[in-house]
């Protein structure tokens, strides 16, 4: 047993000597050719000193925040490019594309946004505008909005009709992407209770509540200053979100301003003739008629009124069809001067507003028409998204949302000159005024300020 123990001890001593010899040939770790750096060890490669790690996650360089450095910023817009409102949609598209041109290219205007090429705060990033066609249908508007939002857009605009805009806004909320609605007028969009998308939604146009109040003030002016004798009022309205809410505002404010409601006539969007509905309005014998109609149906009503020989003292029109420049030709052909309504644009103002004049000329070169209220407001929607990115110094949707609510934006193409949004997304600066079609020309008749171009004409 003792001899076996001695042998074992000798073997262990030999093994230890061999290990020492092997280690003696190995270079030290701090000499060239040593082991890879330890975690977070600083390495001097003879040039820059860099910190490296052996974590697998750090093998790829960290992604940089390019929100403020993108070469191209994508925006989306949903419009009715086909279907019953395709003509209007096509004009709105031209206006939005004009806005992109002003943002991306330098123009000889006394306006920094138009002078610069691209968004200055984003190193001159250019805007790419992607369109979705809602086909004049709210359900399709929702689908088209989702398709655009899936393409990592920084903001979305549209969608003309209030029902379309609500559908788009609901999807924008899901993606937390800001929406600017140029021309939809239903007050419910920004009342803070009907919908839950107030955090991302912003509307430029005056809503139908604001317009209703202005309309009644205008009628009071006609009574006081022009002895119009307007006491009884009626309304014809399209049966959709836009028309229904306009009717509610019409009825709500009439007593407050001393007017009696004698008829509220609804009609379907699919209407192909307005003879029956026009007769219902006429039978109520109103002194003035309100209309919440698009261009096709307003034209049908105008022709029906004319065929019946009906001559009201005034017809007050909520945005929509009245603002379509082609309706001026309808009124002129009928030889009537009693159509009036809210409008954010009037060609007669071009000499007073150089930026508006420039925009109108560019728009007219493409469409052959003067830019109308909805087109100017949708133009503004794209301009505002660019201005918000400029203010935020970012194309990140969350930053744009914050910038839209915390800034007042220059709007030299509007008579009011500026745009700002309240907590529910409503523009707090009245973007429109009242125009009257006089001999086929939109004349500014109210409010009585430096932009008035004519006295109102009352059909007595």
Q: Look at residue 233 in the predicted model and tell me its pLDDT.
A: 99
Residue 418 lies inside a defined structural domain of this protein = yes
Instruction: Quote the DSSP letter at residue 102.
Output: H
Both 194 and 317 in a single domain?
A: no
d(CA 282, CA 280): 6
Within 10 A of 280 (CB to CB), how many other CB atoms are there?
17
Write out the E strands in 318-451: 339-343, 409-410, 418-419, 433-438, 441-446
DSSP H helical segments within 57-150, as ranges?
Answer: 86-104, 112-115, 138-149
Mean pLDDT of the 209-235 span: 98
Token pair listed for 164: 């379309």
Both 83 and 175 in a single domain?
A: yes
State which residues form the domain around 380: 72-206+350-429
Q: Which residue has the higher pLDDT, 200 or 240?
A: 200
Both 225 and 258 in a single domain?
A: yes
Residue 338 lies inside a defined structural domain of this protein = yes
Q: Look at residue 70 in the predicted model and tell me its pLDDT.
A: 56
pLDDT class for 448, splitting at 50, 70, 90? confident
pTM of the model: 0.81
Q: What is the pLDDT of residues 42-86, one digit of tens each?
A: 333 333 323 333 333 333 434 444 344 459 999 999 999 999 999
CA torsion through residues 226, 316, 234, 318, sign: negative
Both 323 and 355 in a single domain?
A: no
CA torsion through residues 279, 281, 286, 288, sign: negative
pLDDT class for 241, splitting at 50, 70, 90? confident
Residue 136 lies inside a defined structural domain of this protein = yes
Average pLDDT for the chain: 88
Residue 330 lies inside a defined structural domain of this protein = yes
Both 285 and 315 in a single domain?
A: yes
Q: What is the pLDDT of residues 286-297, one digit of tens each?
A: 999 999 999 999
Q: Look at residue 310 in the predicted model and tell me its pLDDT.
A: 97
d(CA 293, CA 237): 6
In the three-class reduction of DSSP (H, G, I as helix; E, B as strand; rest coil), residue 190 is classed as: helix
Mean pLDDT of the 363-386 span: 97
Q: Look at residue 318 in the predicted model and tell me its pLDDT.
A: 94
On the question of pLDDT at 180 being above 90, the answer is yes
Residue 230 lies inside a defined structural domain of this protein = yes
CA torsion through residues 213, 214, 215, 221, sign: positive
Q: Which residue has the higher pLDDT, 17 or 336?
A: 336
Residue 456 lies inside a defined structural domain of this protein = no
Burial 396-419 (b: 16+ CB within 10 A, else e): bbebbbbbbbebebbbbbbbbeeb
DSSP string, 135-170: TT-HHHHHHHHHHHHTTT-SEEEE-SSHHHHHHHHH
Query: Residue 393 to residues 70, 111, 423: CA-CA distances in angstroms?
Result: 11, 19, 22
Both 197 and 251 in a single domain?
A: no
Both 96 and 198 in a single domain?
A: yes
Residue 259 lies inside a defined structural domain of this protein = yes
pLDDT class for 36, splitting at 50, 70, 90? very low
Q: What is the pLDDT of residues 107-160, one digit of tens each?
A: 999 999 999 999 999 999 999 999 999 999 999 999 999 999 999 999 999 999
d(CA 160, CA 85): 9
Q: What is the pLDDT of residues 309-322, one digit of tens each?
A: 999 999 999 988 99
On the question of pLDDT at 23 being above 50, the answer is no
Mean pLDDT of the 268-293 span: 98
For helices 397-406 and 373-392, angle between their N-to-C axes, nearest 10 degrees:
110
Both 298 and 441 in a single domain?
A: yes
Both 308 and 188 in a single domain?
A: no
Token pair listed for 353: 């507003």
By residue count, the chain amounts to 460
Both 218 and 290 in a single domain?
A: yes
Both 91 and 148 in a single domain?
A: yes
Token pair listed for 196: 């839950």
Q: What is the pLDDT of residues 2-22, one digit of tens each?
A: 444 444 444 444 444 444 444
Both 164 and 231 in a single domain?
A: no
CA torsion through residues 422, 181, 403, 172, sign: positive
Ramachandran region of residue 137, left (φ > 0), alpha (ψ -120 to 50) or beta? beta
H or E element that contains 432:
none
Number of domains in the chain: 2
Domain of 276, CATH number, reads 3.40.50.2300
Residue 457 lies inside a defined structural domain of this protein = no
Q: Look at residue 18 in the predicted model and tell me its pLDDT.
A: 42
Query: Residue 48 to residues 43, 44, 236: CA-CA distances in angstroms?
Result: 9, 7, 76
Q: Which residue has the higher pLDDT, 30 or 327?
A: 327
Q: Look at residue 440 in the predicted model and tell me its pLDDT.
A: 96
d(CA 237, CA 163): 15
Q: What is the pLDDT of residues 188-202, one digit of tens each?
A: 999 999 999 999 999
d(CA 345, CA 327): 14
Q: Look at residue 25 in the predicted model and tell me its pLDDT.
A: 42
């Amino acid at each position: 047993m003792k001899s076996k123990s001695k042998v074992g001890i000798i073997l262990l001593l030999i093994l230890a000597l061999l290990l020492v010899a092997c280690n003696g040939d190995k270079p030290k770790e701090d000499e060239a050719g040593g082991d890879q750096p330890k975690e977070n060890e600083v390495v001097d490669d003879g040039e820059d000193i860099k910190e490296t790690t052996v974590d697998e996650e750090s093998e790829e360089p960290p992604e940089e925040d390019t929100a403020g450095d993108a070469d191209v910023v994508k925006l989306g817009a949903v419009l009715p490019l086909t279907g019953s409102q395709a003509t209007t949609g096509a004009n709105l598209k031209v206006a939005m594309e004009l806005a992109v041109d002003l943002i991306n290219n330098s123009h000889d205007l006394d306006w920094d946004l138009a002078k610069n090429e691209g968004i200055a705060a984003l190193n001159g990033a250019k805007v790419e505008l992607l369109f979705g066609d809602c086909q004049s249908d709210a359900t399709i508007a929702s689908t088209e909005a989702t398709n655009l939002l899936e393409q990592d857009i920084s903001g979305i605009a549209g969608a003309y009709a209030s029902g379309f805009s609500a559908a788009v806004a609901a999807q924008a909320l899901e993606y937390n992407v800001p929406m600017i609605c140029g021309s939809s007028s239903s007050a419910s969009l920004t009342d803070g209770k009907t919908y839950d998308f107030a955090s991302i939604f912003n509307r430029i146009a005056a809503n139908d509540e604001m317009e209703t109040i202005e309309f009644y003030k205008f009628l009071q002016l006609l009574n006081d200053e022009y002895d119009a004798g307007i006491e009884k009022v009626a309304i014809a309205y399209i049966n959709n979100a836009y028309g229904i809410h306009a009717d509610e505002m019409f009825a709500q404010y009439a007593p407050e301003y001393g007017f009696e409601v004698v008829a509220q006539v609804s009609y379907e969007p699919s209407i192909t003739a307005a003879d029956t509905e026009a007769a219902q309005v006429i039978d109520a014998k109103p002194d003035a008629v309100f209309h919440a109609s698009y261009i096709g149906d307003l034209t049908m009503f105008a022709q029906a009124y004319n065929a019946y020989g009906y001559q009201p003292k005034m017809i007050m029109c909520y945005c929509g069809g009245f603002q379509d420049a082609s309706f001026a030709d309808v009124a002129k052909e009928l030889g009537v001067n009693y159509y009036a309504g809210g409008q954010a644009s009037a060609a007669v103002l071009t000499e007073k507003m150089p930026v508006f004049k420039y925009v109108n000329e560019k728009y007219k070169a493409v469409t052959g028409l003067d830019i109308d209220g909805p087109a100017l407001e949708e133009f503004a929607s794209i301009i505002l998204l660019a201005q918000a990115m400029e203010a935020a110094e970012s194309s990140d949707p969350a930053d744009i949302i914050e910038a839209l609510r915390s800034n007042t934006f220059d709007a030299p193409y509007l008579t009011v000159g500026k745009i700002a949004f309240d907590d529910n997304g409503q523009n707090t600066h009245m973007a429109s005024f009242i125009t009257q079609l006089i001999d086929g020309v939109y004349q500014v008749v109210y409010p009585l300020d430096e932009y008035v171009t004519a006295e109102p004409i009352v059909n007595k």
